[in-house]
Amino acid sequence: MSINDMRQDVLKETGAVFFIFGATGDLAKRKLYPAFYALYKEGKLPERFAVIGLARRPKTRDQFQADLLQSIAEFARYKVKDGDEEWQKFSEHFEYMSLDINDVEGFKELRGLSERLELKFDIGGNRLFYLALAPELFGSVAQNLRQGGLLDGAGWNRLVIEKPFGYDLPSAEKLNKQICEVFKEEEVYRIDHYLGKEMVQNIEVIRFANAFFEPLWNNKYIANVQITLSETVGVEERGGYYDHSGAIRDMGQNHMLQMVTMMAMEPPSRMHPEDIRDEKVKVLRSLRVYGSPDEVRKNVVRGQYTDGVLRGKPLKAYRSEDSVNPESKTETYFGARVYVDNFRWAGVPFYIRTGKRMPVKTTEVVVEFKNMPDNVYLAQKTKLQPNLLVFRVNPLEGIYIKINAKQPGSEWMVIPVAMDFCQSCQVGLNTPEAYERLLYDAARGDSTYFTRWDEVALAWRFVDRIVGAWSEGDKDLQFYPAGSWGPEAMDRLMAEDGFHWWPINGQEESGVLWVKGQE
């Protein structure tokens, strides 16, 4: 029996109570409740479970369950109808309690509710606390959980917390110290939902389970790696938060650097969570730190969108968005040339970019292999293009490989051929959401795709060096029209190395013969 099977059996045998702090918030509505329902429908969540929704707002149990039904009907992969027997059984496991998180007496009352539900559903004292709250509240909630006696159950305790984990390294250290006064590191599950995405997890499998990739996965054969995380939306109603965060803190410190670690890590000695996370930490330790503000400016591009047009629709500038300072210097685009200075990757640039108001919503990783020598006989007759391996993470999931092949009917004409495997086409759109996987993993005690404290600290140390250089002035802030691919400075940075961004999902590459995978 595998470790995962054993974890699943333990969950089914003993069950758990899930405490959702921030139960009336957008995250709970859009992601968490639909995730619970999908896990229940697929038999991954045993009958021995209970969910307690917690928020300051007064709400009756019937009102809470009506909100729960609306959430699942609107956002879940599986459809539901009020009155269905299955829905009635599922909803019986949900309770709501109004709670002031600064009131210890309220936590003592919560303990009583938890014990009653554990008795009702024969749950073995296991408790998972999900904090869908602002980070500055994490410490006080953790302390009150202890003082309220909620950590004295017969089973395990686990704390799941959302990003952002701090605003910089000092604030993250302070936050971590507060949490670790109550919980052990192995009990803390820091969510980066990108690690729950199917194709991000598939990077490891593609690399380590295929003999024709891993031997080439080094600086002898790979010219560069390009990671794009682009959004078509602006800041929407998050202007107040975003203007104090920016792209580098919102996306760069977590999602982007985590994808770098997945691409660059060494094969773990065992498929054990700590061994996998050890290898990711080694990558973060190997990141080349920019030694001066001049080095930051040479390797990093920050941008902010101005007025523009996307698909014929006029878009307003970032500084005109609601709750944004009209003179804001906050970046909505972050791009960088990153080096992993270890034996495998020495000299290979990783180009990363993330931004808002870009032409296509997508997350892709492009591995560009080194080209054939120019004096090879075929290269003398035609211009050969480099081979590409592309991981499509979002919104479509899949992999494609671009190779060179003879054009049918010609004598020596060589053209690029793209072999495209569309995973979304194969399994359909009803695939598990990232939060389903991560919630399930946390309940089973599998921390593989959660970030450990040393990962968080090293990522902040890298990012803080960049932000520190930016604080010296705004002369390096670039502007780009909404609906474009960001500042031209990033293209010039890549051109210095002789590279360019490859067309991504949603933009067909001219002159490529497409050979589709399974439709």
Residues involved in catalysis: 255
Q: Do residues 45 and 39 touch, judged by C-beta distance below 8 A?
A: yes
Structure tokens at 218: 């080094």
Q: Is 359 helix (H, G, I), strand (E, B) or coil?
A: coil
Rounded distance between C-alpha atoms, residue 16 and residue 391, angstroms? 36
**Cβ distance 502 to 366 under 8 Å?**
yes
* Token digits of residue 5: 């099977």
Rounded to whole angstroms, what are the CA distances from 154 to 15, 244, 518?
12, 42, 50
Are the CB atoms for 278 and 457 separated by under 8 Å?
Answer: no
Q: Which residues contact 9 (CB under 8 A, 6 or more apart)?
A: 1
Give the span between the Cα atoms of 274 and 260, in whole angstroms.
18
| φ/ψ of residue 116, rounded to 5 | -65, -40
Element (H, E) at 434: helix 434-444
- Number of helices (H), then strands (E), belonging to the chain: the values are 19, 18
Q: Is 326 exposed, middle or buried (0-12, 13-18, 19+ CB in 10 A)?
A: exposed
E strands, 307-454, in order: 308-310, 313-315, 333-339, 349-355, 362-369, 388-394, 398-406, 414-422
Please give the full DSSP string across 237-259, using - where no structure is assigned. Answer: GGHHHHTTTHHIIIIIIIIIHHH
Contact predicate 491/395, CB 8 Å? no
**DSSP helix, strand, coil percent of the chain (3-state; round to 5):** 40, 20, 40
Query: Element (H or E) spanning 297, and its range?
Result: helix 293-299
N- to C-terminal Cα separation, the chain: 35
CA separation for the pair 451, 455 (Å, rounded): 6
Q: Which residue in this structure is represented by tokens 């305790």?
A: 157
Distance CA 190, CA 438 (A): 10
Other residues' Cβ atoms within 10 Å of the Cβ of residue 204: 18
In angstroms, the Cα distances linking 443 to 18, 128, 392 are 9, 7, 28
